[in-house]
Structure 1
């Protein structure tokens, strides 16, 4: 009976889950599972057979690929396929006469040279997306754990977390940036790699055809990967990961040689075998074993690869690190035919030598132990307690001094009243020196001046110090004075240096020594430069109006600024200098948004804050950011991302659009987003504000957009304009070829 009740409960919960509408990610995973089932059916004799004819050139697969493109574009999935005939695409692929059409954009540069950007049309994108999803199914289980970028669960955040938490006590580190435009030699080697797991000559012929038609054109080190830029494509990332998977396996071979098999670092007998056994155990575990300074087992090698940007950390001598680097460079050049800079500098892992990786700064810093922090906390408490007592003492003595002043002024005034005059007082005796007609206050100031000259005080000393030190304190009991100054002396002695007993206690415990940690630092200076380049701050760092956004609607202006906030919160929330980013959000970003709205309506900023109070809450102040962080972390859909399925969306930068014109009946326009047939109420101009050299700093703004897209006009509906600003879609979802 219990089993029946539990079964009924499971059925009831499943029916409730089915009634709930699926999220974008759940829809994409269901599409991937359907394609995965078709791919698995073609696994025969240790290889995948005829994937092009039986899986890719299949109307159902092409429909799923198009639905995946539409999900990336965040469009309504209930709409039709916009008149796309998948049967005709299948027929063209089967006969080998598919026309890989593309849209070409060019821009003139210095001299006669032109930069050309080739973007595939929608039919070509559908075929590329189908090939990408099939290759993901085949190669996803075989990718190395050091590989990050455009993979499920392995994005920029996981790469940086691995560096900061799993790599312990390295001595040296360096990065390698691969450079090479893909040519026929690399395509031939890529196909030879694919042949190890896939037996399909038609698929390889299709890849060559796309390469010859320039619709499959990617390069190593050409632009920041995973930024959702239109020139990145959807097929290039998986092909790059497949190609560099050879390097990942070569790294494991070299790490085994350097850590376990090199005779220079191991002894014969059991020690040698135990090192090799420990090395295999480390590879099987998810978390690498910690390496401490007391471990004398030889060098340790760590690697983290994000697409074509590679980070290395080495524990051991510099000579061995240089030898290891030379072998890596030789393999990349001679075997993978890639260009690598031979003059890569190996930097020591200390507080003075940070290294750039993934647009951030990786550096080492000292962290106090819990016992040391407790001692410093106690020291600060003693310092605070002593300062409070000193403030109370000063306030009391100043109050006594002020009463002395009031008493003296009253006596001077009483000396002017005849029946109150005391002939034997000192004040009466010196009153004879008072000039005729001198006012009472003036005469009292003269007396104070004579008194100050008598005690030989310094001019800069304030009135409160004079009253406290020369009036009140000499009148207090000597025992009270000695007790107070003895207390201050004891407190200063403790604050200036800890006692020998405390230092001995800390040094005697191995757990209480200072440790060095790896920090990931957001490029605050680069962020400020981008804010200046986008016109959000002045050269002095003060917030200013964004003139290019003024003509847009109020909600669109706030969405643009909120898009920067959402990206910074999502990217930098775990960074060590997030407090500096929060300061920029509250003092620069929010103020610039308010001033943009104020310039639009030509009213005071305070009135803007009152009128748009609820809308501006999306760009919170410093105190509200912590609450926003908790809300973001509790929202499961916000972080339900898959780097393989949502390529270029979760890490896409913000671009700048200005209003070009309002759409009229005489000049209609539809939305340029792939799969969207809604009417676009406005046409916008895309502004390419910067084109960083690879690698560039990660600032939250879209970097390295091809210059041929500068001032390109695009039509967007209100929904997709908001999605583009908030980072729900990227520039890859826009069909720039609608208007040539």
Structure 2
């Protein structure tokens, strides 16, 4: 690997095109910043406000509906002999109002402030609690009052609820302190391996391939204008999906997603706009940002990863990745060739309905020698010069797989290339 590492913490090593470094656990799983905590508290407050608005709206609608039901029942009772009319609805009305009353009581008992307020009103300053008054009153009245106060203390006293809330707050604080202590100890005693994508090399490759200009903004690739619209999108999709699959296990995967969803996506849109001599907005209006195309039957197909799909991608394990180099440094130009058909040169394929494609290599288009490290992207592979401008017959399935990165040139019989002038 041509790498000698002296410090596992201050240096990193390159492995499979990725950068490995030993770091404390807090680097891989950093605690929430103050800004994030403020944003979370703001979100929780907004959530409480929305819940309160929904509660008020529900109570308002419930009141209106209850009044309508009462008016209807009262009207029917006046028009008939009591509640004796065609449809017996008193049980349904009673059930509805019972359900509403139970919900109101449960909401009331769940509110500490309301219980506290009613408990204060029903227990403070009552003259029946004075001894010289109680002695002058009938015993039945005094006992009824005492029982009433017991029920008030039982159901409305906020002491138990407040103790439960305080206990929950203490538990949350203790849990935060325990997590902080564990995180501090782990940072001092443990080291983890951080895997990073070489984002600077990715950006250099993007710039060298022509996805971006000198300012780092997306630009069209004129070589691809000769392709069909679907093939242009498939070419970009093959590069983007292979990058996403290859670097899915990296800590800075978010940066790779930005490169794919912004630089590659808009470079594809600009290439399509350049081909049809339209503006970027017109191309977006026609293909949408998800780069949708229609097949012969009019069904929409999506090859490039959608913005939502890229956004939802998370950390995954590295599994059987396919290199991006072949897709990035190779373009296949379809030829109009009227000679007799050749069989598809993909391994184990005998289909005769093939189309000829000419190989165009990136290093020849840029006039760059891949062996010169200063001009080429370090660690990026290159296809051999002998394959440039060679023609290969491929069926529709395998040209699609080659564009999308499901197969590479290793899955093709390169000895069966055809020379076409």
Which of 327, 331, 335 is residue 657 of structure 1 equivalent to? 331
Q: How does 1:68-147 map to 2 (within 5 A)?
A: none
Q: CA deviation at 1:650?
A: 7.5
Q: CA deviation at 1:372?
A: 8.6
Q: Distance in 1 between matches of 2:36 and 2:286?
A: 48
1:592 aligns with 2:267: yes
1:577 aligns with 2:252: yes
SS of 2:202's equivalent in the other structure is helix
2:359 aligned residue = 685
Contact persistence 1:673–1:716 (CA under 8 A): yes
Q: 1:535 and 1:373, CA in 2 relative to 1: closer, same or farther beyond 3 A?
A: closer
1:606 aligned residue = 281
Q: Distance in 1 between matches of 2:38 and 2:393?
A: 62
Q: How does 1:150-549 map to 2 (within 5 A)?
A: 175=1, 345-350=4-9, 352-368=10-26, 373=31, 380-381=37-38, 506=181, 510=185, 513=188, 515-549=190-224
Q: Distance in 1 between matches of 2:356 and 2:31?
A: 58
2:400 aligned residue = 722
Q: Distance in 1 between matches of 2:357 and 2:197?
A: 35
Name the count of aligned residue pairs: 265
Q: 1:382 and 1:736, CA in 2 relative to 1: closer, same or farther beyond 3 A?
A: closer
2:345 aligned residue = 672
1:708 aligned residue = 386
Q: 1:622 and 1:576, CA in 2 relative to 1: closer, same or farther beyond 3 A?
A: farther
1:625 aligned residue = 310
Q: CA deviation at 1:685?
A: 2.3
- 1:647-702 CA-to-partner distances (Å, cap 9, x unmatched) read x96777414224263122x4655433233332333332231537368998566xxx
Q: Distance in 2 between matches of 1:629 and 1:506?
A: 28
Contact persistence 1:688–1:711 (CA under 8 A): no
Q: 1:706 and 1:622, CA in 2 relative to 1: closer, same or farther beyond 3 A?
A: same
Report the TM-score, using the length of structure 2 for normalisation.
Answer: 0.53
Q: CA deviation at 1:553?
A: 0.9
Q: Distance in 2 between matches of 1:688 and 1:561?
A: 14
SS of 1:550's equivalent in the other structure is helix
Q: CA deviation at 1:734?
A: 2.2
Contact persistence 2:344–2:352 (CA under 8 A): yes
Identify unmatched segments of 5+ residues in structure 2: 46-176, 293-301, 364-368
- 1:572-625 CA-to-partner distances (Å, cap 9, x unmatched) read 112100010111112101000101111111112222222223644543465441
Report the TM-score, using the length of structure 1 for normalisation.
Answer: 0.31
1:568 aligned residue = 243
Contact persistence 2:342–2:352 (CA under 8 A): no
Q: 1:717 and 1:511, CA in 2 relative to 1: closer, same or farther beyond 3 A?
A: closer
Contact persistence 2:224–2:331 (CA under 8 A): yes
Higher RCO structure, 1 or 2 (CA under 8 Å, sep 6+): 1
Q: Distance in 1 between matches of 2:189 and 2:281?
A: 49
Contact persistence 1:371–1:506 (CA under 8 A): no
1:736 aligns with 2:411: no
Q: CA deviation at 1:629?
A: 6.2
1:57 aligned residue = none
- 1:218-239 CA-to-partner distances (Å, cap 9, x unmatched) read xxxxxxxxxxxxxxxxxxxxxx
- 1:379-412 CA-to-partner distances (Å, cap 9, x unmatched) read 9449988xx9xxxxxxxxxxxxxxxxxxxxxxxx
